[in-house]
A and B are shown apart, each in its own frame.
Chain A
Amino acid sequence: MSALISSSLQQRSVIYLILLSALVLSCIWGLKIGAIAISPQVLANTLFNLDGPQQKYILLTSRAPRIVLALLTGGALAIAGSLIQAVIRNPLASPKVVGINSGAAFATCLMIALFPTMTLTNIPVVATLGGALAATIVLLGAHWRGLSPVRLALVGVAVGMLFDSGVDFYLVANTSPEKAAPMMWLTGSLWSRTWSHVEAVWLPIVLLSGLAFSLSYQLDILRLGDETAIGLGQRPALMRFIALLTATVLASISVGVVGVLGFVGLMAPHMATRLVGGQTRHMLPCAMLVGMLLVVLADCVGRALAPPIEVSAGVLTALFGAPFFIVLMLKSDRETTG
């Protein structure tokens, strides 16, 4: 079980260093790549305000906010996935599997349909309500029926499909361009995200990520089993509730602002566990970095494939994540049966 092995401090520092440099490199690539390729020289000129040709508008107004949002949402999804997997103890659990993504997307669509005048700052709140509703249905249903991990995934998929059909309904019922604009982001796209989107979500994401980090030691205790946790002065039920709520809000906010980036919340925690071991306090920061890297890369690759056309980041994460899900499932099959 790789989950129980924790790596040494030295190994961890090397891994963090590699992840961080990969992240920085991919951010720079993200600034360069796109419909108009920008040379490193111009990039350096603009970023450090040196003499010579600059590309202020494209870089600072169009590409920089995208990358900041990719970092924020990638980190949020990865942390949400890690929390959910830690609490439900199900390797297949993720924000998407618990239905949060679809619920949040549905609520956001509903908000745009019913109250077109509402501002961007309301999106996190509305998306969270939708995500929380879906997660409540799935988790309560599963808890109340005493379902196995795989069965929980099935219920989550079913609830997700229910909300997805609502989203489809909205999309095809609205032909006007203003109302049909969400179509693009629903496939998980960072296209045309601006600083105002960043402003709307950065504070809650940073605060909740901080909360998640401060919970990580408690989550490790929870992992030892309810009796031990109670013996150590913890209230397991309350702990689970706080962790799940944090995860729901984090995932919902990121869906509200960039749409459904499928499978990021599933992949990042698993990759992080492989890298630094399963202890939440070590794994969580690593998962966050991996999640950021995944989303930034998905956005970059989507822009690099066939400029000026953009492939939605969510499409790419799904292409990569669906096989990942199958591999995980086959592995958990082997562990339970043989």
Chain B
Amino acid sequence: MIVKSFQWLTLLVALLLGAVLSLHVGGRADVGIADLLAVITHWDSPSLSQSIMVDIRLPRTLIAGLLGINMGLSGLILQAITRNNLASPSILGINQGAALGMTLAIMLPGFFPIADEAMAVLGALFAGILTFSFAGGLRAKVSPLRLILSGVAVGAFSFAMVRFSFTLDDEVSRDVILWTTGDVAGVRWHDTPLLLALSLFGIIASVLLAHRFNLLALGEAASQGVGANPHITLVLGALIAATLTGISVSVAGPIAFVGLVIPHLCRAMIGSNHRQLVPAVALGGAALMLYAEAFSKIVITGEELPLGVIAAIIGAPYFVYQALFSKEMGL
């Protein structure tokens, strides 16, 4: 346990540093972490820089962290239920499906009797189900490669639909690209309660299911043998992953690759016990997104970059590496 506690400490320190960095940098260089301390100590007469800290920086940092938790857990769950290390919301087309659901809700207001966020969750679920059924459905064995290629095709189709519906509407292509790359520049406090509740739900649900994920990792027969029906694990896991992804996408757009990278890194640090992986992934996902959020504000172009682009630049090379070298792919 001594060795493990070092890893946990590393994760915590990484998270803390990420939070400080993310709060410290931004469009106005004169606003820094000192303002946060000032806010905490005497909040009676807020100055302009203190309001920037409270109204802009804090919600952005908080939301970036929460998104990291949600996407990381979503990836972890998908990797557990598919037993495929390359599974993640973006690669299985679930991100794009959520974006499509969201787009439909925006394009046809009043047509669907449910909230936009619910549409995003439905889109995520639908895309996930499509991907699974193309890859072989609930048959005993789903080929990992087919799963990914189906996901890519479903994702390509959903994204084409998103672009299609937006070109029909108006010349908002730049906004669409911003949103479809995942952006948190516009978020404020009113976006946080939903995401916070979602992250809590995600963590609790994953902790409760962690044991079933561990059993599933032993194989479906073994899982069945000790009384955990693998199909129930699969369905519950898919529902949770779709909810986490769908609502996150509805707030910030699809953010790719966090769900892929974080579970891998955490597995390398903590091992493959899901009871420990769940909190580790939550910490690690939040930390990575905080760094990405900070970097998105410092990059040199004079213009802030969307969070999703930074995440993709970190994550895509990792995906290439995995595609070339990961061994457990069958075929």
A residues neighboring B (CB under 8 Å): 92, 137, 141, 145, 148, 150-151, 153-155, 157-159, 161-162, 164-166, 168-169, 171-175, 180, 183-184, 187, 262, 305-306, 309-312, 315-316, 318-319, 321-323, 325-326, 329-330, 333
List residues 98-147 of chain B with CB under 8 A from any CB of chain A.
134, 143, 145-146
12 examples of A-B residue contacts, CB within 8 angstroms: A150-B145, A155-B324, A159-B320, A162-B317, A168-B308, A172-B181, A173-B299, A315-B163, A319-B161, A322-B154, A325-B156, A326-B150
Asked if B39 lies at the interface with its beta carbon under 8 angstroms from chain A, I say: no
Closest Cβ of chain A: how far from B156's Cβ, in Å? Answer: 5
Residues of B within 8 A of A175 (CB): 174, 303
Asked if B301 lies at the interface with its beta carbon under 8 angstroms from chain A, I say: yes
Closest Cβ of chain A: how far from B235's Cβ, in Å? Answer: 23
Closest Cβ of chain A: how far from B329's Cβ, in Å? Answer: 7
- Contacting residue for A318 out of B148, B149, B160, B312, CB 8 A: B160
Q: Are A168 and B331 in contact (CB under 8 A)?
A: no
Main secondary structure of the interface of A (DSSP, over half): helix
Q: Are A162 and B319 in contact (CB under 8 A)?
A: yes
Q: How far is the CA of A319 from the CA of B156 in the complex (A)?
A: 8
- Contacting residue for B145 out of A151, A158, A305, A330, CB 8 A: A151
Q: Are A322 and B153 in contact (CB under 8 A)?
A: yes
Q: Are A322 and B324 in contact (CB under 8 A)?
A: no
Closest Cβ of chain A: how far from B8's Cβ, in Å? Answer: 31
Asked if B14 lies at the interface with its beta carbon under 8 angstroms from chain A, I say: no
- How many of chain B's residues have a CB under 8 angstroms from any CB in A? 46
Nearest 7 A-B pairs (CB), nearest first? A165-B312, A318-B160, A322-B157, A158-B323, A162-B316, A158-B320, A173-B301
Q: Are A330 and B134 in contact (CB under 8 A)?
A: yes
Q: Are B177 and A168 in contact (CB under 8 A)?
A: yes
Asked if B152 lies at the interface with its beta carbon under 8 angstroms from chain A, I say: yes
List residues 300-331 of chain B with CB under 8 A from any CB of chain A.
301, 303, 305-306, 308-309, 312-313, 315-317, 319-320, 322-325, 329, 331
Residues of B within 8 A of A330 (CB): 134
Q: How far is the CA of A166 from the CA of B181 in the complex (A)?
A: 12
- Closest A residue, CB atoms, query B86: A154
- Contacting residue for B316 out of A137, A148, A150, A158, CB 8 A: A158
B residues neighboring A (CB under 8 Å): 86, 134, 143, 145-146, 148-150, 152-154, 156-157, 159-161, 163-164, 167-168, 173-174, 177-178, 181, 256, 299, 301, 303, 305-306, 308-309, 312-313, 315-317, 319-320, 322-325, 329, 331
Residues of B within 8 A of A166 (CB): 313
- Closest A residue, CB atoms, query B323: A158
Q: How far is the CA of A293 from the CA of B324 in the complex (A)?
A: 36
Q: How far is the CA of A157 from the CA of B323 in the complex (A)?
A: 9
Q: Are A171 and B324 in contact (CB under 8 A)?
A: no
A141-B324, A168-B309 known; A311 and B167 CB under 8 Å?
yes
Residues of B within 8 A of A159 (CB): 320
Q: Are B149 and A150 in contact (CB under 8 A)?
A: yes
User: Apart from A153-B149, A319-B160, what are 13 other A-B pairs with CB-CB below 8 Å?
Assistant: A154-B145, A158-B319, A162-B320, A171-B177, A172-B303, A310-B167, A311-B167, A315-B163, A322-B153, A326-B150, A326-B153, A329-B149, A329-B150
Residues of B within 8 A of A92 (CB): 149
Q: Are A184 and B149 in contact (CB under 8 A)?
A: no
- Contacting residue for B313 out of A150, A165, A187, A322, CB 8 A: A165
Q: How far is the CA of A105 from the CA of B209 in the complex (A)?
A: 43
- Contacting residue for A311 out of B164, B174, B322, B324, CB 8 A: B164
Q: How far is the CA of A322 from the CA of B329 in the complex (A)?
A: 23
Q: How far is the CA of A119 from the CA of B29 in the complex (A)?
A: 39
- Contacting residue for A319 out of B157, B168, B301, B324, CB 8 A: B157
Residues of B within 8 A of A162 (CB): 316-317, 319-320
Closest Cβ of chain B: how far from A210's Cβ, in Å? Answer: 32
Q: Are A326 and B301 in contact (CB under 8 A)?
A: no
Q: Are B319 and A161 in contact (CB under 8 A)?
A: yes
Residues of B within 8 A of A183 (CB): 173-174, 177
Q: Are B156 and A318 in contact (CB under 8 A)?
A: yes
- Contacting residue for B312 out of A145, A151, A168, A329, CB 8 A: A168
Residues of A within 8 A of B164 (CB): 311, 315-316, 319
Closest Cβ of chain A: how far from B239's Cβ, in Å? Answer: 24
Residues of B within 8 A of A169 (CB): 305, 309, 312-313
Residues of A within 8 A of B178 (CB): 172
Q: Are A154 and B312 in contact (CB under 8 A)?
A: no
Residues of B within 8 A of A319 (CB): 157, 160-161, 164
Closest Cβ of chain B: how far from A291's Cβ, in Å? Answer: 19
Q: Are A165 and B309 in contact (CB under 8 A)?
A: yes
- Closest B residue, CB atoms, query A312: B167
Q: How far is the CA of A325 from the CA of B167 in the complex (A)?
A: 24
- Closest A residue, CB atoms, query B325: A145
Residues of A within 8 A of B303 (CB): 172-175
Q: Are A322 and B309 in contact (CB under 8 A)?
A: no
Q: Are A187 and B163 in contact (CB under 8 A)?
A: yes
Residues of B within 8 A of A333 (CB): 143, 146
Q: How far is the CA of A318 from the CA of B157 in the complex (A)?
A: 6
- Closest A residue, CB atoms, query B171: A309
Q: How far is the CA of A174 from the CA of B281 in the complex (A)?
A: 34
- Which residue, B143, B145, B323, has most C-beta atoms of chain A within 10 A? B323
